[in-house]
Amino acid sequence: MAKTKETVDEFLARLEHPLKAEIEAVRAIILNSSGELKERIKWNAPSFYYLEDLLTFHLRPQDHFLLVFHHPEIVKIRSDLLEGDYKDRRLISFTSMAEVEARKDELQAILKQLISRIEPEVNIV
C-alpha cells in the first residue's frame, strides 16, 4: 500500500518545538501574503512554492527557527531581514513572537517581490 503524503497541518500537529506558536504564526503570514503560494512537506519541514520551490522552514534548532529562501531570485531582493551572502539563498531567523510580529510586513513584502519575479511559462502554439 502506498504511503500517503503528510500534510502541513498533520506535521504541525505532531511538531514538538519551543517556538511552535511562532512557527504557526509565520506560516499564517506566509500563506496570507499571496493566494498564489502553496505548501507541502519537503525536506522534512513545511515548504512553500509558486511554480517552483521558494522557501522552507528549518526547525532543528530549539532556540530559534529559520526560513530558508532557496529560489535563485531571492539574491536580487534587498531587505535587512534577509541574512547571509550565499550565491543562491538567504535566511531569516526568528527567536520570539515579538520578532514575528515586528517582521510581518517586511516578510510579506519579500514574498510578494519574490513571486513577482517568477514568470509562469507561456505556451505559444
Q: What is the pLDDT of residue 45?
A: 95
Q: Helix or strand or coil: residue 90?
A: strand
* Block mean pLDDT (10 aa), the chain, length 125: 75 96 98 94 95 96 97 95 95 98 98 89 56
Q: What is the pLDDT of residue 119?
A: 75
Query: Domains plus CATH for the chain?
Result: 8-116 (3.90.1150.200)
Cα 114 to Cα 28, 44, 77, 87, distances in angstroms: 17, 23, 8, 16
How far is residue 124 CA from its own chain's centroid? 32
Distance CA 22, CA 99 (A): 9
